[in-house]
Structure 1
Amino acid sequence: MNIRKAKPQDVDAIVELAVESVTTIAPIPELKIDRDAMRDTVELCLGPAHFCMVAESEGEVVGAVVAQVMPGFWFHKLQCSVLMHYARQSGAWVRLMRALAEWIKGRSGIKMAIIEIEPCHDPKVLCFVERLGFSRPSDNRIYVRGAQ
């Protein structure tokens, strides 16, 4: 398995992985998938200020992590928001997440990085990301129109 920076020709595979991740892990049926918006965002994140890496096995993209960096809203420096972290192979996901953590720690301009871990994940996933440095807990509550 190879972990590498994503290329423009990987965008469609990343979008399909993203769709798979949001329709199989903790789907929200009230939301309509927008592949065009995903594609636009992945293409943006191919740029040098952001993070977009894939895991490739036998020529097929089997995992991806996409993160967007922007100025902090309420603090100085930058915030990194992990938009997608998913792999069909668990070893691929672990390697991608290690690459992300190393990338974040290597950029002194990034003050805060945020990742969401769905409650349905194995608790080992949360322990692993905490060991990577994502250790400050935060609860999220999501309003979804039509889901009440």
Structure 2
Amino acid sequence: MVGRLERNKDLIQDVVENTARGVGSIASIITDAVADVTREIGDIVTDGLEMREAAKAAKLAERTEERIEAEAPTYDDEPAPEPVTAESVDAPAPESPAVPAEPVPTEPALADPAEPQLAAAPVEPQLEAAPVVEREA
């Protein structure tokens, strides 16, 4: 038979083990809760930072758009062209000035710098043929 001392020892051992397990479970619950709360706070802060960056980007885009609109030419001050009618087509041409216009020199069209240029072949001088003179015999 088990003595009184041994029973008390077993009782105390069970109480301490169960208490330790309970405290461990509580600590685990608290640890998990702290980790979950920390994760949620981090997600909230991340969302806030992303919203702040999006607001900055939207503000920058709005300023850029306003600047482009401000720099764009407006055509409200220019008069509208007169519509073409049958009368205006049949009307006589306006008198030309008495001084003849000088011919405007034309320049060759400028090539697009982005396109590769081909080297021109050298031009050989053209020789004119001498007139053939027939001699009388």
- Give the TM-score of the pair, scaled to structure 1: 0.14
Q: Which is greater in Rg?
A: 2
Higher strand share: 1
Q: Which of the two has greater helix per residue?
A: 2
- Structure with bigger RCO (C-alpha 8 Å, 6+ apart): 1
What TM-score do the two structures reach when normalised by structure 2? 0.15
